[in-house]
Amino acid sequence: MKKIIITGGSGLLGSHIAKTLQQHNYEPVLLIRRQHSKIPYRQFLWDPKAGTIDENVFEDCDAIMHLAGANVAGNRWTKTYKEEIISSRVESARLLHNTMHRIQKKIKVFISASASGYYPANASILLEEHMPPADSFLGATCRQWEAAADTFQSNADRVVKFRIGIVLSAQGGALQVMHRSMPFRVSGIFGNGRQIYPWIHIADAAHMFMYALQQPLQGAYNAVAPETSSFLDIISNLEQAIGHKTLHLPAPQFVLRTLLGEFADSLYASQHISSKKITDAGYRFQYPTLQQAIRSLYGSKPC
């Protein structure tokens, strides 16, 4: 059984990746800051801030999946939290790289998460992997995140970076937040709701990471579904899932900016991101359309 190290393996996507790997006869092992009794995988301790890591984790490992990092939507974007968003990604990768270099550890593939925030807000063009990053905090974060991943070229046969869109899951993340008020027949709408949101079903995101283990992928790939969908499209499909319409209440941008800081601006941004490179590499989406994705998570009822 091939042993795969996962950082950030207790998070929403990381835990789904670990489960998917186990179902396909891989052994996921987690690098984690504190032991969790409810996690059914082997755990090894590390502390990127302190620069400590249990080196036993590298024994017989074939690959590393690096998802560790502070939640972008976890707190208001103060100067301190923005520094934490970047450092938690870059310093954790640096600790892995420096440790592997010191113990002369080589692996087959290093797979890093990145984000669709790499790209500027622009719905008028199709955003592809060769295009430059946004001149924004998220663009700078993703650029440094990916640069940290590229340092593993000396430790791994391949380096793969997935620029992940909004991960759709009923267990957490953006979709759960959107769904929360719907039983009360209310939905908060950002702007006019027509902004394009790049999204991916959590099962496809997890299987894409596993696909990168099995296929000779190299470089950056957009981890977004093929279908272009707006914020209102997501709301409409959620309404279908719960079986009734909701009252759409506009969320004032200045209020959200007060609550969330600069992060609020990303909620109103529109991005049309291409999935062509990953599909050309042979990946086949389980949930290529928004309707299929929402129905798999919430079912479907007549409105």
Return d(Cα 168, Cα 182) in angstroms, integer.
16
State the pLDDT confidence band at 124, using cuts at 50, 70 and 90: confident
Mean pLDDT of 137-141: 96
Average pLDDT over residues 186-190: 94
Residue 73 confidence (pLDDT): 87
- Model confidence band, residue 1 (pLDDT cutoffs 50, 70, 90): low
pLDDT value of position 272: 95
Residue whose entry in the numeric block shows the structure tokens 């998917």: 20
Q: Which residues contact 102 (CB under 8 A, 6 or more apart)?
A: none
pLDDT at 303: 59
Range 41-69 average pLDDT: 96
- Computed on alpha carbons and rounded to an integer, the radius of gyration of the chain in Å comes to 19
Given a cut of 70, is residue 117 above it in pLDDT? yes
- Domain extents in the chain: 2-165+201-224+272-285
pLDDT of residue 252: 85
Strand order in the sheet with 26-32: 52-53, 42-47, 26-32, 2-7, 61-66, 107-115, 156-164, 219-223
Fold held by 2-165+201-224+272-285: Rossmann fold (3.40.50)
